[in-house]
Amino acid sequence: MSDPELATKAPESDAMETGAGVGEHCVTDRPNPDDRQPSGEMTKFGDIDVYVSKPGDYPNSPAKLLLLLTPGTGVHSTNNQIQADIFASEGFVVIMPDQFRGDAAPNSKAIPAEEHPSILEQVKLRAAETAKSFLVDMWLARQTPEKVIPILLKVIEAVKDEYADAIAHGEGIYSVGYCFGGKYVIMLAGEHPDTVVAGQPQGDEEVGMVKKGPLIKAGAVAHATLVTREDFKAVQAPLALACVENDPLFPEEILQEGRKQFAASNIKHDIQVYSGVPHGFAVYGDYDSPAIKEAQAAAFQQILTWLKSH
């Protein structure tokens, strides 16, 4: 990001205490290691695009309901759809909504450079990357909780009717979020005033307001971004966190706030920190490094174990 401070000012009131925007892996898909193709289907819940993936034997065999929230690459990303399919193969009816309403992040992947680019080519590349960073910053400024939360609420209301059996089987809704989506899993796991849950700005009128409890039974988050101290202070539902060591998008002070809140509230949690991996490592996609591949598999197993044990 060319200006990480700019990237967080619009979405968060206490942005200076959050990670700096989003990283490359939040807005760009990694290579598809097996050239695998999605097996679920795109549908609509009202006017919201949703990718749905189900276990092969559903509904003959019961399954739990999983709300999967994506990185900036969004619902139409092949990698995200395959990620949903993988969870479906583990016994979940997976609902992955378009939380951006067709406004997924601009592709910020660097243009491949020549081995020895000329001075002119270097200038062009720098200009292109600056323009992309600006577009991502502008995109991020549009993706506020006031915009995203109402979309998630509509989807949750829709699944309560359409997949009541899966929700009943799991005794609630489970949720997993990667990168950008991670913040919203944490929010859904929290207790908030009606104004926040409804996606409306807060004000002095919230004093004395009855708060709503968590909208999910349990959640898991991989390398979240834009998480605030207030997000963690509101958490009431069990959470698992797969974090990246020295992650500027999820600073240590924010993680420590989470640890403190979990301990003070006696909330069930599982925090694992993975070293030597980039932000975004847990999202489906190929890496050359065996160590990153191993960590990716470990993070998925951490999340899956957490979901199945709650």
* Mean pLDDT confidence for 187-212: 59
Q: What would the two tokens of residue 152 be?
A: 């998630």
Tell me, yes or no, whether 126 lies in a domain. no
Tell me, yes or no, whether 52 lies in a domain. yes
Which of 207, 189, 188 is CA-nearest to residue 199?
Answer: 188
Distance CA 109, CA 120 (A): 20
Pairing of strands 41-45, 48-53: antiparallel
Q: What would the two tokens of residue 12 be?
A: 């968060």
Tell me, yes or no, whether 165 lies in a domain. yes
The SS3 call for residue 147 is helix
**pLDDT for position 140:** 77
Tell me, yes or no, whether 208 lies in a domain. yes
Tell me, yes or no, whether 8 lies in a domain. no
The structural domain count of the chain equals: 1
40-96: pLDDT as tens digits: 999 999 999 999 999 999 999 999 999 999 999 999 999 999 999 999 999 999 999
Which of 44, 131, 36 is CA-nearest to residue 86?
Answer: 36
Tell me, yes or no, whether 176 lies in a domain. yes
- Do the beta carbons of residue 280 and residue 223 sit within 8 Å? yes
- The CATH number that applies at residue 261 is 3.40.50.1820
The domain in which residue 97 lies consists of: 13-109+143-308
pTM of this structure? 0.82
Q: Using CA atoms of 243, 248, 249, 253 in order, give the dihedral in degrees to the nearest 10.
A: 70
Q: Kind and range of the H or E element at 146?
A: helix 145-162
Instruction: Say yes or no to pLDDT of 190 above 50.
Output: yes
Q: How buried is residue 290: exposed, middle or buried, by Cβ count under 10 Å (0-12/13-18/19+)?
A: exposed
**pLDDT for position 153:** 94
